[in-house]
């Protein structure tokens, strides 16, 4: 899990796309900027809202995070 946190730290301040599994084969997609990285979670600014996710969300594939190429 430490490797995942290090990968997230490299995306700090960059545009990312987020795919969130909300259950029953339903997904929400967002685009935003990675704001901050903390010991147990990271935050993303999406349309003037700040959303937080844990590294466990990434490991369990409940959240997928990719660098947004513009």
* Per-residue pLDDT tens digits of the chain, which is 70 residues long: 557 889 999 999 999 999 999 999 999 999 999 999 999 999 999 999 999 999 999 999 999 999 988 6
Q: What is the pLDDT, as a whole number, of residue 2?
A: 53
Check if the beta carbon of residue 64 is closer than 8 Å to that of residue 18.
yes
In order of start, what are the domains of the chain with their CATH numbers?
2-67 (2.30.30.100)
Token pair of 23 as six digits? 């259950």
Which pTM does this prediction carry?
A: 0.87
Inter-CA distances, 64 with 25, 29, 55, Å? 14, 10, 10
- Which pLDDT does position 69 carry in this prediction? 83
pLDDT of residue 52: 96
């Amino acid at each position: 899990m430490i490797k995942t946190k290090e990968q997230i730290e490299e995306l700090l301040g960059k545009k990312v796309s987020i795919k969130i599994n909300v259950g029953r084969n339903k997904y929400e997609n967002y685009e935003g900027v990675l704001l901050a990285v903390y010991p147990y979670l990271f935050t993303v600014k999406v349309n003037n809202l700040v959303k937080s996710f844990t590294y466990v969300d990434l490991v369990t594939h409940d959240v997928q995070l990719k660098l947004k190429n513009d």
